[in-house]
A and B are shown apart, each in its own frame.
Chain A
């Protein structure tokens, strides 16, 4: 914000550009306005969603500006990076100055003669008064330094010089949070896994369906939903999990929403659930033979009596085919020894579309099983974020509620055995607080005199 003078090098100009509060002011408002777009335009949708809502051209503009995933776009990250650079350079620029102010020798400060905020006289000479006034100043402000200047005595005290560092704490905390977010993005992962009751999984799905091995097993023993009394509103979703390391059950945990569990640094969150088919009961009929009841399992082969294997590939508990059929449908894969599997459809009894062939299946019943959906996270950056948040809060309290106050009392002879007292003060913020302190000081200096008389 200094004026640009001729003769300054390009580097200096760039430096002062990045050190300026005007830039941060501009960046804050730009980030605010830019962020609005991301809340108006749906994020991370398919192209056709945008075409439908905004037309071809609109969709193309949205894609060109990455407005469909704005907060991860290069230009948005660039704005954040600029803010970080601004922050670092501005702080580097000012910190030495702040340290100089903090470390300023109080003895030298005591020698300064400042313009008085208030001036009055009290009984007694300078020598009679100075100890008492020093006591009062010490009580109201802090440690007192004396100096004799131009035939008078100066008393100086200050308080909260270190509070000037509060702003730097806030600014550093922002950087720590940024670092946490970057670390989390680079080295963390974010996945999901579904586990049916009784099943053990040893890997999860991360972005784009990629599988990530966990290095240990997680088994779901039971999934439970509890309800509020006399209501259909769920009160808890609970997964009873067992963590298995090298074949040993190491940890049992009742996982609930809002209470994640940590195993080997990886966090598991209860996030969803559904019902999955476990098995179906079907009537197996081979050409020219008596039907037999058999049990088939979901996505698993079972041997059939009389040879061959079968398993359920897909199952719908309710299918509506108009007048033709209404009911459950199972898609069954069947393979006879040495042949390719064939897909057959099994309907419930009474279907008017009987399946024909070498073997047929009729659906007699089915068993569902609960399946829990867990989010699985690993975020090595999250502690940076929390530490940054704590420091930011502390930094705010320091910046907003403490200040660097300096108060001077100057005592000069006023003739007739009286002393002139001048009060002066300065503060880097909260001038109202400073005024109050000086008023209190004035009161106590005058009052005590009054009592003594």
Chain B
């Protein structure tokens, strides 16, 4: 079952590429029908993607090392891709702004492609990772990252289509509003992620907060988005600046997700 799951994930990845191409063509040509096909395809892939994740979950129990499929980089990337698509499709349902897909789907494809480059084997979990709080923690964090990711996609759209030149046009206003709303989703979920992480740490080690680099970087990200939410109440921080802020926030997200593991452990290794 785990093998079938891996197979499906490969198909899913390239199907997302196809969807991304459809959305891009639609965005360039303005053909709504193509966008609708892309959208239908994306819903379909999401279903297969969901199936693949469930199969992997079941497969791990068959192997006697059962655990939720959120435990290593491969699994987390596959799940991150899934949350990105989910948040994007919800946004699309509510706004019918298909052009966002031309920015969101390439992000999804890149995530999944990166996942394919990782070790996909199912490994048993070390005891500290066996916790339901950890499952809640991962789900919340990745929904948060996805909210920020889609917000960054919207921000790119805002900047690349030059909305800043007419910041009070209906389209710019709508985009500004969506950037803010997706950040709000991200912020709530990141907060929930930090809280569930704290509960888990407290049950595993008895400290809800220990300033380790990963924790600290999620807090840094949280501070940046808190600043962004409050910037609404200062004059002149809407529009272009909000979009740039959202992109900067997403850079923090990426660093929290990848950078901490790749770079900081290296920096710290000489100390241990």
A: residues with CB less than 8 A from B are 1, 21-22, 24-25, 28-29, 31-32, 35-36, 38-40, 42-43, 45, 49, 52-53, 71, 181, 190, 228-229, 231, 233-237, 256-260, 267, 269, 271, 375-377, 379, 382, 385-386, 389, 392-393, 396-397, 400, 431-432
What CA separation (Å) do A375 and B128 show in the bound complex? Answer: 14
Interface members, chain B 185-222 (any A CB < 8 Å): 187-188, 191-192, 195, 198-200, 202-209, 211, 213, 216-217, 219-220
Give the contact stretch, choosing among B35-43, B44-52, B111-119, B227-235. B227-235
Q: Which of A38, A39, A45 lies at the interface centre, i.e. has the most chain B CB atoms within 10 A of its CB?
A: A39
* A-B pairs with beta carbons under 8 Å apart, 9 shown: A21-B230, A25-B230, A35-B220, A38-B216, A40-B267, A234-B126, A236-B127, A258-B128, A400-B188
Q: Is the CB of B223 within 8 A of A382?
A: no
Closest Cβ–Cβ distance, residue B34 to chain A (whole Å): 27
8 tightest A-B CB contacts, nearest first: A28-B227, A377-B206, A32-B223, A257-B127, A39-B213, A42-B271, A228-B124, A389-B195
Question: How many B residues, CB 8 Å from partner?
Answer: 49
Q: Is the CB of B124 within 8 A of A258?
A: no
What CA separation (Å) do A228 and B227 show in the bound complex? Answer: 46
Chain A residues within 8 Å of B205, by CB: 269, 271, 375
Q: Is the CB of B216 within 8 A of A235?
A: no
- B27 within 8 Å of A (CB atoms): no
Chain B residues within 8 Å of A400, by CB: 184, 188
Chain A residues within 8 Å of B267, by CB: 40, 42
- B97 within 8 Å of A (CB atoms): no
Chain B residues within 8 Å of A234, by CB: 126-127
Chain A residues within 8 Å of B126, by CB: 233-234
Known: A257-B127, A392-B195. 9 other contacts (CB 8 A): A25-B227, A25-B234, A28-B223, A32-B220, A32-B227, A42-B268, A228-B124, A231-B124, A258-B127
Closest Cβ–Cβ distance, residue B98 to chain A (whole Å): 18
Q: Is the CB of A29 within 8 A of B220?
A: no
Known contacts A25-B231, A53-B270, A237-B127: A228-B65 contact under CB 8 Å? yes
Q: Is the CB of B191 within 8 A of A35?
A: no
Q: Which of B130, B200, B206, B234 lies at the interface centre, i.e. has the most chain A CB atoms within 10 A of its CB?
A: B206
Q: Is the CB of B230 within 8 A of A258?
A: no
Q: Is the CB of B223 within 8 A of A377?
A: no
- B264 within 8 Å of A (CB atoms): yes
Q: Is the CB of B206 within 8 A of A375?
A: yes
Q: Is the CB of B203 within 8 A of A258?
A: yes
Q: Is the CB of A257 within 8 A of B204?
A: yes
What CA separation (Å) do A382 and B195 show in the bound complex? Answer: 12
Q: Is the CB of B211 within 8 A of A43?
A: yes
B: residues with CB less than 8 A from A are 64-65, 123-124, 126-128, 130-131, 174, 177, 184, 187-188, 191-192, 195, 198-200, 202-209, 211, 213, 216-217, 219-220, 223-224, 226-227, 230-231, 233-234, 252, 260, 264, 267-268, 270-271
Q: Is the CB of B203 within 8 A of A260?
A: yes
Closest Cβ–Cβ distance, residue B139 to chain A (whole Å): 15
What CA separation (Å) do A234 and B126 show in the bound complex? Answer: 7
Chain B residues within 8 Å of A25, by CB: 227, 230-231, 234
Chain B residues within 8 Å of A389, by CB: 195, 198
Chain B, residue nearest A268 (CB): B206
Chain B residues within 8 Å of A190, by CB: 206-207
What CA separation (Å) do A391 and B192 show in the bound complex? Answer: 12
Known contacts A25-B231, A256-B127, A382-B208: A39-B177 contact under CB 8 Å? no
Choice from B127, B200, B206, B223 contacting A235 with Cβ under 8 Å: B127
Chain B residues within 8 Å of A229, by CB: 64
What CA separation (Å) do A71 and B219 show in the bound complex? Answer: 12
Q: Which of A28, A233, A234, A377 lies at the interface centre, i.e. has the most chain B CB atoms within 10 A of its CB?
A: A28
Q: Is the CB of B191 within 8 A of A396?
A: yes
Chain A residues within 8 Å of B130, by CB: 257-258
Q: Is the CB of B128 within 8 A of A257?
A: yes
What CA separation (Å) do A259 and B133 show in the bound complex? Answer: 12
Choice from B198, B207, B264 contacting A39 with Cβ under 8 Å: B264
What CA separation (Å) do A24 and B234 show in the bound complex? Answer: 11
Q: Is the CB of B206 within 8 A of A28?
A: no
Q: Is the CB of B230 within 8 A of A24?
A: yes
Q: Is the CB of B195 within 8 A of A393?
A: yes
Chain A, residue nearest B64 (CB): A229
What CA separation (Å) do A231 and B121 show in the bound complex? Answer: 15
Chain B residues within 8 Å of A45, by CB: 271
Q: Is the CB of A28 within 8 A of B271?
A: no
Q: Is the CB of B188 within 8 A of A21?
A: no
Q: Is the CB of B217 within 8 A of A39?
A: yes
Chain B residues within 8 Å of A393, by CB: 188, 191-192, 195
What CA separation (Å) do A31 and B226 show in the bound complex? Answer: 11
Q: Is the CB of A269 within 8 A of B220?
A: no
Chain A residues within 8 Å of B223, by CB: 28-29, 31-32, 35
What CA separation (Å) do A53 and B258 show in the bound complex? Answer: 24
Closest Cβ–Cβ distance, residue B234 to chain A (whole Å): 6
What CA separation (Å) do A396 and B225 show in the bound complex? Answer: 14
What CA separation (Å) do A187 and B187 show in the bound complex? Answer: 32
Chain A residues within 8 Å of B226, by CB: 28
Chain A, residue nearest B196 (CB): A389
Closest Cβ–Cβ distance, residue A261 to chain B (whole Å): 11
What CA separation (Å) do A264 and B216 show in the bound complex? Answer: 32
Q: Is the CB of B234 within 8 A of A22?
A: yes
Known contacts A258-B131, A260-B206: A36-B227 contact under CB 8 Å? no
Q: Is the CB of B230 within 8 A of A40?
A: no
What CA separation (Å) do A53 and B268 show in the bound complex? Answer: 11
Chain B residues within 8 Å of A386, by CB: 199
Chain A residues within 8 Å of B203, by CB: 258-260
Chain A, residue nearest B249 (CB): A32
Q: Is the CB of B191 within 8 A of A392?
A: yes
Closest Cβ–Cβ distance, residue A169 to chain B (whole Å): 13
